[in-house]
Amino acid sequence: MRYFLLACMLTAALACSAQNKSMRDAYEEFRQQKKQEYADFRARANSRYAEFLRESWRKFQAMPVTPVPKDDDVPPVVMPDEDRDKPIDDRELTVKEVVPKVVPKVVPQPQPVSPIEETPQPVDNSVAFSYCGTPMKVRLDARAMNALPSCSGADVSTAWSELSARGATENAISDCLKLRDELSLNDWAYLNMLDSLAQKVYGKGNEATMLTAYIFCQSGYKMRLGNDNGKLVMLIGTRHLVYGRPYYVLDGYNFFPFDNVSDDLVLCDTAFPEEKPMSLLMTRQPRFACNATPEREFVSADMPQMKVKVSVNRNLIDFYNTYPTSMLGDNFMTRWAMYADMPLDERVKQQLYPVLRDNIKGLPKIDAANVLINFVQKALVYGNDNDMWGEDRAFFAEETLFYDFCDCEDHAILFTRLVRDLLGLKTALVYYPGHLASAVCFDADVPGDYINIDGKRFVIADPTFIGADVGRSMPDVDNATASVIVLD
């Protein structure tokens, strides 16, 4: 009986194995079929795009440059010593507007129109290059594209066909997308990484622009090619309005040139299938190699025990130096929210936060917030952007800890970052023409000047009203002109 059962089990197992093998074969056949369909679709898309590049060029007029806003500077105000112990009155402020938050928390990055299939590479044709001090390597044969003799439609079309030929660039595109994911590169960082790769292969010139544009397009991004008096240029499609750069409105998106160009360009205004706009938002830190700067010491004269030494990653600062100032749509408050919502570098947190936590441990949140605002008010040196940079320039939190001087918006951005991370409270930015302050939504009643936002009290906290606790507004600011945006 035992042998009979074993025989039955073996027969069933063999039948199951045969069935599973048949299912695996069917699945593999299906997979290969879909793989070929994807490859064929992408090949057709590139072939058709090359045809448009040959013929579909026309002249476009740039939209006027939107200058970086340049407000009249409101310098810091020092609160008189005799006023610091006066009771804080409870006062609801009437502001001009509470701007709806349109900056999404998560922005899925564009993807290729079909999966990029790697191809066998008989020899190592890898290109080693560096971006923001970070060594990188991409499989790419520089012979995939011949020299680009001109920016004529025929020559640009031929170059596109060469790059899209089977086996020419699949490995390079795959490697670039892997680097984007592994290093947490946002769209702007990814574009600049591609530019670094292209310049390593071709130097500066039309061939480098062509390679950057091709890989960017194949990665899923909106881009257009243009001819600027014999110079090939790439334009990037986005929902952002980038300050200080000419742009072209095509299919409802703003396309701004990656390099400096003339006001009028001859463009090929042809969309690639399923292309997506580039975003300038960042939800996580790029993981660049660390190039630590010398330590800087920060201490408030009121709290000498709360002394911190901070070193930042110079490679990250170099990246921030290239970051274009912009706003989403016509919501000018988003230009600061994009900086304020960026998380602080983990290395900086490890240096800064333990000391701050020790000094607010066990305190009610209002007292802890007053410790943090005093630190920002008195440990940082104020400087006017127009004097230092010639224009308004917001800082990411690391930049505020790197540069010798920072202004009111940088104080507010850093303070709201500290409050969210260390106290877990919602914050907002409050813009008066020429001045940026902040507000904190406490989880208990806190007296002071406050703004009612959807039934919640956001208490004014001004990091450049020196010596003033949370709840006090800087004198002479006009609340009726203030715009407010709540941060993530």
pLDDT band at 188 (very low <50, low <70, confident <90, very high): very high
Residue scoring higher pLDDT (67 or 357): 357
> Can you tell me the distance from the alpha carbon of 450 to that of 456, in angstroms, rounded to the nearest whole number?
9
Whether 27 has a pLDDT exceeding 50, the answer reads: no
- Taking CB atoms within 8 Å and a gap of at least 24, the contacts of 209-216 are 209/233, 209/234, 209/258, 209/259, 210/145, 210/148, 210/156, 210/159, 210/160, 210/163, 211/145, 211/163, 212/258, 214/160, 214/163, 214/164, 214/169, 215/169, 215/172, 215/173, 215/176, 216/190, 216/191
Interior CA angle at 348 toward 346 and 353, to 5°?
Answer: 95
- In this structure, of 27-31, 36-40, 254-258, 413-417, the range with the lowest mean pLDDT score is 27-31
* Cα→Cα distances 152→212, 216, 224, 231, 265, Å: 18, 21, 15, 10, 13
Confidence (pLDDT) at 455 = 94
Confidence (pLDDT) at 443 = 94
Q: Which residues have C-beta within 8 Å of that of residue 219, sequence separation ≥ 6?
A: 110, 111, 112, 173, 176, 177, 180, 190
Q: Which residues have C-beta within 8 Å of that of residue 399, sequence separation ≥ 6?
A: 317, 320, 406, 410
- In three state form, how does the secondary structure of the chain look? CHHHHHHHHHHHHHHHHHHHHHHHHHHHHHHHHHHHHHHHHHHHHHHHHHHHHHHCCEEEECECCCCCCCCCCCCCEECCHHHCCCCCCCEECCCCEECCCCCCCCCCCCCCCCCCCCCCCCCCCEEEEEECCEEEEEECCHHHCCCCCCCCHHHHHHHHHHHCCCCCCHHHHHHHHHHHHHCCCCHHHHHHHHHHHHHHHHCCCHHHHHHHHHHHHHCCECEEEEEECCEEEEEEEECEEECCCCEEEECCEEEEECCCCCCEEEEECCCCCCCECECCCCCCCCCCCCCECCCEEEEECCEEEEEEEECCEHHHHHHHHHCCCEEECCECCHHHHHHHCCCCCHHHHHHHHHHHHHHHCCCCHHHHHHHHHHHHHHHCCECCHHHHCCCCCCCCHHHHHHCCCECHHHHHHHHHHHHHHHHCCEEEEEEECCEEEEEEECCCCCCCEEEEECCEEEEEECCCEECCCCCCCCCCCCHHHCEEEECC
Longest dimension (CA), the chain: 101
Ordered strands of the 223-228 beta sheet = 58-61, 264-268, 223-228, 231-238, 253-257, 248-250
57, two tokens = 């060029």
* Cα→Cα distances 339→166, 326, 336, 350, Å: 42, 10, 5, 20
409, two tokens = 């918006």
pTM of the model: 0.90
Q: Which residues have C-beta within 8 Å of that of residue 3, sequence separation ≥ 6?
A: none
Give the burial class of 388: count Cβ atoms within 10 A of its Cβ; 0-12 exposed, 13-18 middle, 19 or more buried: middle
Neighbours of 84 (CB within 10 A): 11
Whether 10 has a pLDDT exceeding 70, the answer reads: no
Whether 240 has a pLDDT exceeding 60, the answer reads: yes
Among residues 67, 66, 68, 72, the alpha carbon closest in space to that of 408 is found at 72
Confidence (pLDDT) at 6 = 47
- Residue range 129-153: mean pLDDT, rounded: 94
Please say whether the beta carbons of 280 and 258 come within 8 A. Answer: no
Residues linked to residue 334 through DSSP beta bridges, in sequence order: none
Residue scoring higher pLDDT (214 or 124): 214
- Residue range 210-219: mean pLDDT, rounded: 98
Residue scoring higher pLDDT (140 or 81): 140
Reported as a single tens digit per residue, the pLDDT across 320-357 is 999 999 998 888 899 999 999 999 999 999 999 999 99
> Can you tell me the distance from the alpha carbon of 464 to that of 410, in angstroms, rounded to the nearest whole number?
10
pLDDT band at 73 (very low <50, low <70, confident <90, very high): confident
- Rg value, the chain, Cα: 28
Please say whether the beta carbons of 214 and 163 come within 8 A. Answer: yes
> Can you tell me the distance from the alpha carbon of 340 to that of 101, in angstroms, rounded to the nearest whole number?
13
Domain 77-105+286-486 CATH class label: alpha beta
Domain with CATH 3.10.620 in the chain: 77-105+286-486
Please provide the average confidence, as pLDDT, over all residues in the chain: 90
